Amino acid sequence: MIKKNILSIVLIACSLLIVSCGDGGKFKIEKGKVGHLTPKTTIDELDHIFKNDSIVKNLSEGALGDNYFQDDDEYLIFEKGGKHLLTIIPKEQLDSVSTIKSIEIHDVRFKTETAINVNSSFSEINVNNNINRVESTFSTATLFIDDLNATIAIDKEELGLKDFTTQKVTLEQIPDLAKMKSFIVWFN
């Protein structure tokens, strides 16, 4: 009887240890979710969600400012020690109750269920995701992945193309080993 109780206690303790050692989804990317962030998360909640990290706020002048071409507000999330994790852009500028418009992923620990992260090559992205379309800009080819509501930009240098042309790019033109330039998850 005592052996059964001790065995039960040991099993429960091991289970709790395994669960507590996991990241609790802190680094999981899926449609409508990046870690603990969802489309309902407000900018005001970032301080609580990232209480053990540092947040750098680059705020715009908004509609009242003199510079109409100023960028959006940015909330840069850094891990203690200085590692850049995420860049968060709110839907509404200078509004603490605004929800999130987009999240740019900077840390390799953030990954999808199919293990796509910022270090993934084009072949890994293409095999594990349905790429809905490719759009060219002057310096990048942008892959649209509707399964994740995400965009992945690949520098045209990775494709062997000249910068500053809007030459159309197809999936077949992208080399398997091409690395991504940016990985953005959209909450719209």
Contact (CB, 8 A) for 140 and 156: yes
Euclidean distance between CA atoms 3 and 124, whole angstroms: 49
- pLDDT tens-digit map of 73-128: 999 999 998 999 999 999 998 889 999 999 999 999 999 999 999 999 999 999 98
Instruction: Report the pLDDT averaged over residues 36-46.
Output: 96
Determine the pLDDT at residue 64: 57
Domains parsed from the chain with CATH numbers: 28-186 (2.60.460.10)
13-17, 45-49, 166-170: lowest mean pLDDT where? 13-17
Contact (CB, 8 A) for 87 and 95: no
Contact (CB, 8 A) for 120 and 143: no
Average pLDDT, the chain: 85
pLDDT over threshold 80, residue 13: no
- Is the sign of the CA dihedral 61, 63, 68, 71 positive or negative? positive
pTM, entire model: 0.82
Q: Which residue has the higher pLDDT, 139 or 1?
A: 139
Determine the pLDDT at residue 163: 65
Q: What confidence category does residue 2 fall into, taking pLDDT thresholds of 50, 70 and 90?
A: low
Determine the pLDDT at residue 154: 95
Contact (CB, 8 A) for 174 and 155: no
Determine the pLDDT at residue 115: 92
